Chains A and B, each alone.
Chain A
Amino acid sequence: MTTVDVPLEKTTHELAAALDDCHDQAAPGDVVVSPRGWVIASAARVADGAVVPGGWAELHAARRETPSPARQQALFADGLLRLQRQTLHRLLDAVVRRLEERTADGANLLNRQLVRGAVADVALALSEADDLSDQPGETRRRWLIHQVLVAAGRTLIKLYGASGFTAEGPGHLVHLLELLGNTYLHPGEGGVGDG
């Protein structure tokens, strides 16, 4: 298992750098090509690529002829999942701090039961993602963890209200992590996976 040191800040630049670290952990000095022949990395790392859908210029996507060896793909996939989980954990911590400072009807938003419930849902999902890491079947397991984290991210981002949908808010990070999972972690035809 590799380790990925994810920066605390929530910018696309830092996500791109962390993603490049994932590439380096799996394929030092190179990039990892997905089973379908796609590479997503920083714009500097994939200079010949196009900006990913949605228009975030820091990440580029490009076609390559040959997918990376399975071992590199597996290492990269594990790093990507850790990046996703750690990013969501930090966004959760940040939104809790944000909600502590906001009030409605004279009451702190974090004291609202629904808000507490949503915060708990995210934390439970992150915990479940950890629990699932011991399950058999690499491909199936990674996809399942990714799906759990996608659901957690969707719950989490709603705690940010509409600011979670702005291009400069945390929503774009969540979207990019989903795009990365769709590209690198999808198990294949029918979504069942071969595990």
Chain B
Amino acid sequence: MAEPDTPRVAALRGHVRQAAVGLREIGLEIDRDPTAIDRWLDLPAVHIMSGCTIPPEYLESPLRVDGHTYDMSSCLEHTVTIEELSYGDASFMLACPGPIMSGVTVGALGDDRQRDAYYRRMAAPEPVWTFFGLTEPGKGSAATELETVLEPDGDGFRLTGEKRYVGNAAFAELGVVFCRRAPGPLGIEAVLLDTDTPGFHAEVIPTVGMRGVRISAITLDHVRVEREQILGFETRKPSRRGLIGAIQTLQRFRPVLTGTAVGLCRAVLDHVRAQRPALHGAARRRLAEAQDRVEAVRQHNYAVASAVDAGRIRADRIAGVKTRAAELAERCTLLAAELLGPAALLEDPLLDKWYRDARAIEFMEGTGHIQRLAVFQGVLKGTFLDRAAAAGA
């Protein structure tokens, strides 16, 4: 498969790669204290993350490299960016302020006024963290089975329920909450919510790794919601808002998340090579095999991201590449811990951190079990293993 590095993508990759230098030490600091991101907000990497998916006209200094302007509306460019930042440190990258997933949802579902207000707020000089509230304690990320309810209250609504495993929610100013206004899939809505609204409460859930994400639990206790906070409520049919926004956002972000996994894998394998340049025999072979597998999933992911940019959404292939990358992230860290020798996890803080961080990829944006269902459907339809279809023929 051809490299996707057109001059435009190559310029972006080179710029982000430079911005990712030095993030690992800070990532270790964030692993010990996730609020440490507050001390590093002037870094170029933070600037990149803060501007992702915000139209350039809203930004005082949009990302410009070698005459190109980037807003990460391209899934491929977004993926390359996240991969390179994750090569620096994935947990740091995910700790950064910015639109992350909520921006894609607002872009997909919001009307002009909603998007304008959101982008203006995100473009303000002060850092703004956001969240994407889909997952629930009882139902996981099954969007069609949401139990958080949006009930009429005068000329507006009240929002009640719980969300769990939501990145950065305890530190965010605003975010998107998916909820149920009426029975059935058409009754699902996406609400843009300020976290200082009475009845909103979020707190961090301590995790094994990837602590920069500051995974949080949200409680929504009769939170007042105005009609204009419901994305697309005035301009879209029920079939074109709510649920479809969750699906579109997840599908758009899975190649990006795969970029996170690939960046982490590359970092781990390069670290092994740097620490053990004289590996030989079976150990050298296994490292090479892992490298080949990472490169294969990386190229596959570029093809998937390019297909998304071309409007060819293939849920089975998106699910497949995300699943493979998540597994590979774990395998690479397991291999590294073995190849770097006894007690490597005690003696090598970076390895220990990557080893813990890698496990987060599995459950982010849908577990492997859910992804396998999509792959299974692709096999039934004869699309998943159809190379011609994969190439867009």
Flag if A183 contacts B345 (CB, 8 Å).
yes
Flag if B207 contacts A105 (CB, 8 Å).
no
Chain B residues lying within 8 Å of A154, measured Cβ to Cβ, are 330, 359
Flag if A52 contacts B346 (CB, 8 Å).
yes
Interface stretch (choices B53-61, B260-268, B331-339): B331-339
Mark out the residues of chain B between 111 and 138 whose CB falls within 8 Å of any chain A CB in the assembled complex.
135, 138
Flag if A192 contacts B281 (CB, 8 Å).
yes
CB distance from B364 to the nearest CB of A (A): 9
Flag if B343 contacts A38 (CB, 8 Å).
yes
CB distance from B31 to the nearest CB of A (A): 9
Chain B residues lying within 8 Å of A179, measured Cβ to Cβ, are 345-346
Q: Of residues B140, B334, B343, B360, which shows the largest number of chain A Cβ atoms within 10 Å of its Cβ?
A: B343
Chain B residues lying within 8 Å of A118, measured Cβ to Cβ, are 369
Bound complex: CA of A161 vs CA of B349, how far in Å? 26
**Chain A CB within 8 A of B206 CB:** yes
Flag if B283 contacts A191 (CB, 8 Å).
yes
**Chain A CB within 8 A of B279 CB:** yes
Bound complex: CA of A165 vs CA of B363, how far in Å? 9
Flag if A182 contacts B344 (CB, 8 Å).
yes
A158 in contact with B145 given A35-B342, A171-B208, A186-B342 (CB within 8 Å): no
Flag if B334 contacts A150 (CB, 8 Å).
yes
A162 in contact with B164 given A114-B373, A150-B334 (CB within 8 Å): yes
Flag if A54 contacts B352 (CB, 8 Å).
yes
* Closest A residue to B368 using CB positions: A158
Chain A, 141-177, contact with B by CB distance < 8 Å: what is the 0/1 string? Answer: 0000000001000100110011011111001100100
Which residues of chain A have a CB within 8 Å of any CB of chain B? 34-36, 38, 52-54, 61, 102, 104-105, 112, 114-115, 118, 150, 154, 157-158, 161-162, 164-168, 171-172, 175, 178-179, 182-183, 186, 188-192
Q: List 14 A-B contacts (CB under 8 A).
A: A34-B343, A38-B342, A61-B346, A104-B139, A114-B372, A157-B359, A162-B140, A178-B345, A182-B346, A188-B341, A188-B342, A190-B280, A191-B283, A191-B338
Known interface pairs A104-B142, A179-B346, A190-B339; 8 further A-B residue pairs with C-beta atoms within 8 A, sorted by A's residue number: A53-B346, A54-B208, A162-B135, A167-B206, A172-B208, A175-B356, A190-B283, A191-B283
The 8 closest A-B pairs by CB, nearest first: A167-B206, A190-B283, A186-B342, A191-B338, A36-B342, A162-B165, A53-B352, A162-B363
